[in-house]
A and B are shown apart, each in its own frame.
Chain A
Amino acid sequence: MAASASTGALRAQRDSATRFEANAATRESAWVKWSVLGVSLTFFVVFLLLPLVAVFFEALRKGMQAYLAALSDSDALAALRLTLLTAFIAVPLNLVFGVAAAWAIAKFDFPGKHILITLIDLPFSVSPVIAGLIYVLVFGAQGWFGSWLAGHDLKIIFAVPGIVLATVFVTFPFVARELIPLMQAQGKEEEEAAIVLGASGFKTFWRVTLPNIKWGLLYGVILCNARAMGEFGAVSVVSGHIRGETNTLPLHVEILYNEYSFAAAFAVASLLALLALFTLAIKSYVESKARTVLVDADHS
């Protein structure tokens, strides 16, 4: 599967360490073990944990009151609304696409399938800045539809539709790439049996396919949502940065930061960090669920 590791594809969790540590042939000396742990965990703390802690520390540096004031500021609330709206449109669009693409790719054979999978992954290998640029070239004042849009008094670039489009682009593969390998691994026998027994296509999907893919689906949606709410580069190019109108939360963080309102910038950033922690918590939960399913399958 092309590049599926890049979102940390759904894995079944189990602690393999017991198996390796109990076996003399796969065990290192205590000296090696503690060196590896020391080096790798120091790296983890410096590069991953400290930045996360710093967000909350800086956010609360001026006290709880300043923190709450920064969050209840009208521009911050407008940015929050736009971020929620953007995710509310982008995620369902890419969810429907992900299910359709996975159904076509996993349940049928057709030529060019491999190329199609690669093309679906394309938005992940394109710089977010270029993701914004392409819509400027299509819908911007100088772009393909620029004069037509201006003539009809429609605005896409430097307005909300452009932000939504850029977000749809950068979150495009998330659901599809979770579902494609999952549904390929599950095969199509169960669905074929349901159809042969007289179930309708819709009923088959609803009663047979969906229960099988629900955890992968949820995981894809959660990741898609996190990226949709957090996207910066692509949205920055198409937004125009109009306060209270075309600013999403990440863009609002940038504005506050560039105005040297550091505590306020980190306060808004802490909301996004909480979203990230929530996403990781759901991911861990889904992985433990997926594990139960796998263990059940092993026993049956």
Chain B
Amino acid sequence: MSRTARVLPGFGLSLGYTLAYLSLIVLVPITAVFSKAASLSWPEFWSVVTAPRVLASYRLSFGASLLAAGINTVFGLLLAWALVRYRFPGKKLVDALVDLPFALPTAVAGIALTALYAKNGWLGQYLEPLGIKVAFGPLGVLVALIFIGLPFVVRTVQPILEDLDTEIEEAAATLGARRWQTFHRVVLPILLPALMTGFALAFARAVGEYGSVIFIAGNIPMVSEITPLMIVTKLEQYEYASATAVAVVMLVFSFLLLLAINALQTWTAKRTGRQV
């Protein structure tokens, strides 16, 4: 659109302000990470980001995040299904509380989960005698990541499920499909892009999560240290360059994931004709 055709005022001002503020708060400070990491030579950088303790932290962070996102995809779909399709008492409350992980500060979630799963906690007292040690170990990391990721899946799938036309399932039923076949062959393919988007969002959030995890993880080197904690540990030892090197690995991964999420959302929008 040419400038003369614009009726509304404020384009230059609002776009200029947006770009200036975005650069000042986000873009320029992020370049500091890359310029600081560049102060390391390539072999130095490589030895920092592939040190055994750091490698162990990637395995835990990415492994637990993938697992948590997978678990959330299954149970998030069930919860979204229950909220959209069934009437039951207390539904409004459940629907509102699904967003709790977005609103509850992560440190609060962290100490609450630790209290629940510690040896004498409400859940820990039954799990520890069975040999399942959740708090102060890798399982605790998983539990915290499930907590913070759940709403991403529910809130991505729920609107798609609500907008689903009953005609599609009626047609399937008329053609002789059983309920499970209809779900599996008709409904699930429609939900697939949204499920994958929810999975990716939950995964992206889990990889970077810090506050809720560090209280319950126990932070044992090589066993239950997450990658963001490695950055904090290095910072506390004033190893700025190596902290930054690990941060670069995480940032590059986050950028790639962000691109993937964008592609998934475009796909969802195309498939269902609505924005998520």
> How many whole Å from A47's CB to the nearest CB in chain B?
6
Asked whether, in the complex, the Cβ of B9 is within 8 Å of the Cβ of A48, the reply is: no
For A280, the chain B residues whose CB sits under 8 A away are 96-97, 99-100, 103
- A177 CB to nearest B CB, Å: 12
CB of B179 closer than 8 Å to a CB of A: yes
Q: Mark out the residues of chain A between 6 and 59 whose CB falls within 8 Å of any chain B CB in the assembled complex.
A: 6-9, 11, 13-21, 23-26, 28-29, 32-33, 36-37, 39-41, 43-44, 46-52, 54-55, 58
Q: How far is the CA of A55 from the CA of B116 in the complex (A)?
A: 10
Query: Size range of the interface on A?
Result: 35 or more
Query: Which of B40-48, B49-57, B247-255 lies at the binding interface?
Result: B247-255
Q: Is the CB of A126 within 8 A of B254?
A: yes
- Report the minimum CB–CB distance from A142 to chain B (whole Å): 6
B-contact 0/1 string along A222-255, CB 8 Å cutoff: 0100100111110011000000000001110110
CB distance from A277 to the nearest CB of B (A): 8
A280 → chain B closest CB, angstroms: 5
Chain B residue with Cβ nearest A123: B26
| Nearest-Cβ distance from residue B166 to partner chain A, whole angstroms | 5
**Given the contacts A26-B166, A127-B250, A33 and B105 also touching, CB distance less than 8 Å:** no
Please pick, from B86, B169, B207, B244, the residue contacting A133 in the complex, using a CB distance under 8 A: B244
Contact partner of B97 (CB less than 8 A), chosen from A52, A107, A172, is A52
Main secondary structure of the interface of B (DSSP, over half): helix
Contact, CB under 8 Å: A130 / B96: no
Distance in Å: Cβ of B18 to nearest Cβ of chain A: 4
- Complex: how many Å from CA A50 to CA B174? 43
Q: Is the CB of A119 within 8 A of B26?
A: yes
Checking A4, A41, A48, A196 against B150 with a beta-carbon cut-off of 8 angstroms, the contacting residue is: A48
A residues within 8 Å of B by Cβ? Answer: 1-9, 11, 13-21, 23-26, 28-29, 32-33, 36-37, 39-41, 43-44, 46-52, 54-55, 58, 96-97, 100-101, 103-105, 107-110, 116, 118-123, 125-130, 133-138, 140, 142-144, 165, 168-169, 172, 181, 188, 191-192, 195-196, 201, 204-205, 223, 226, 229-233, 236-237, 249-251, 253-254, 257, 262, 265-266, 269, 272-273, 275-277, 279-281, 283-284
Q: Can you name 4 extra interface pairs (CB under 8 A) apart from A48-B150, A134-B30, A137-B244?
A: A50-B123, A128-B211, A226-B103, A272-B105
